[in-house]
Amino acid sequence: MRLKFYSIFFIMIASIFSGCIQNITPQGLTVSVPASQITKSLEEQFPITKDFDYGKITLEDPKASLRAGSNRVIAGTSISVSSALTPKQSGSLFVSGTPYFDAKSGAVYLREPNIEKLEFNGYEIASFMQGPLKSALIPIINEVFKSRPIYTLNKSSFQKSFVNNIRVEDGELLITFGL
């Protein structure tokens, strides 16, 4: 019990000096993670290239955003599709998902990814035209967000043992630590 108390106390002191404390309640200490930190974490894991029978898809230059009024994290990336039969097509892809914390890895992942926006060569792909392209992208998106975290707590720290809750609220990713 004493170790847990000292651990929480240490996390609180470190958070106070880093300036990212959102709230301290009886449920625990809530820390805000800005979209810029999520983007930095994503940048370390990109570009991602996947070869298929019909061509190659590359995702690069990720950006994260946290929209007020939404409980989802939005991740945007540039996308390029190339094949032997067509010239390279470039565009952007925006995906949203709900954050969840994996205590074993000490990382935040996105669950239930959903394509929010898809455009190529400056033209948004209409939902009725997304069929084949969307069916090719969904497995990549699921693989990316199941295997690559959007944010990781310090691996050498024990703070991952004390995460009670994670959520997006008012445009901020909030992580609550407690006993």
Closest CA to 91 of 104, 101, 78, 109: 78
pLDDT score of 159: 67
Which has the minimum average pLDDT: 12-21, 43-52, 165-174? 12-21
Q: Give me the residues paired with residue 100 across strands.
A: 109
Give the distance from CA 129 to its chain's centroid: 27
pLDDT score of 43: 94
CATH class belonging to 2-177: alpha beta
Q: What is the pLDDT averaged over residues 117-123?
A: 85
For the chain, domain boundaries: 2-177
Q: What is the pLDDT averaged over residues 115-132?
A: 75
pLDDT score of 157: 64
Closest CA to 145 of 91, 107, 89, 90: 107
Three-class SS state of 173: strand
pLDDT score of 99: 93
User: Distance between CA atoms of 15 and 55, rounded to whole angstroms?
Assistant: 47
Structure confidence by residue, pLDDT tens digits, 28-43: 788 888 999 999 999 9
% of the chain exceeding 90 in pLDDT: 27
Residue 131 tokens read as 């069929």
Structure confidence by residue, pLDDT tens digits, 137-174: 777 788 888 888 999 887 666 666 788 889 998 888 98
